[in-house]
Amino acid sequence: MKRIMHLLVGILFLGISLVASANTDAEALVESVSNRVLQVLTESQATSAANAEELYKQVQQEVESFMDFNAMAKLTLGMKWQDATPEQQQRFTNAYQALLVRVYSRSLLEHTGENLQVSTSRPGPSAEYVSIVGMLVQADGNKSTDMNYDLRLVNGKWQAYNVDIGGVSLTRDFRSRFAAEIAANGLESLITRLEQGDGFDS
């Protein structure tokens, strides 16, 4: 009986150790990507529309393998995703990705010169999900604003499917705004507006 108990305890601690290690990897990834983006923004001189577009391209290069834009698109459209044709799904994902990069960049432009410091991680509904809780910190050490990420493990790689900056969740915020547009004018109208960069940035 004692041997069985020792075995069970060992398995339990091994599981806890593996989860802790996975969470540490996710935390390190979030800090690395976020601080690279902040560095890009800090070094930029986006004083014109042309410079701004170039800046968005640089930010996208930093986050394109980290952010799961397909998952964000599905999460934001919700049940309406199933109503879309494959072409509409692809068009929406592409246009929504461009919007998310712009909004993400502009949100962090307010925090250039700062760094993200992860404070903790919270387990999700299963071992493949985790929420990373962080804080943007100024050069003098003063805390600035909360910045949190929800991640899931995809093919052995952590990817973000939601970002919360200063209490504003990108996917939840856009989900309610898009739902209103779809209810009023239909899904095709929403996709067209996104493709034209019309009205959802602010």
First to last CA, the chain: 64
Phi, psi of 136 (to 5 degrees): -80, 130
CB 100 within 8 Å of CB 69: yes
> Is this prediction's pTM over 0.95?
no
DSSP per residue, the chain: -HHHHHHHHHHHHHHHHHHHHHHHHHHHHHHHHHHHHHHHHHH----SHHHHHHHHHHHHHHHTTTB-HHHHHHHHHTTHHHHS-HHHHHHHHHHHHHHHHHHHHHHHHTTTT-EEEEEEEEE-SSTTEEEEEEEEE-TTS-EEEEEEEEEEEETTEEEEEEEEETTEEHHHHHHHHHHHHHHHH-HHHHHHHHHTT-S---
Task: Give the pLDDT confidence score for residue 3 in this predicted structure.
Answer: 52
pLDDT in tens, the chain (202 residues): 555 444 333 433 333 333 444 588 999 999 999 999 999 998 886 445 567 888 999 999 999 999 999 999 999 999 999 999 999 999 999 999 999 999 999 999 999 999 999 999 988 888 899 999 999 999 999 999 999 999 999 999 999 999 999 999 989 999 999 999 999 999 999 999 999 987 787 6
Q: Note the pLDDT of residue 85.
A: 97
What is the CATH topology of the domain spanning 2-195? Nuclear Transport Factor 2; Chain: A, (3.10.450)
φ/ψ region of 117 (left if φ > 0, alpha if ψ in -120 to 50, else beta) reads: beta
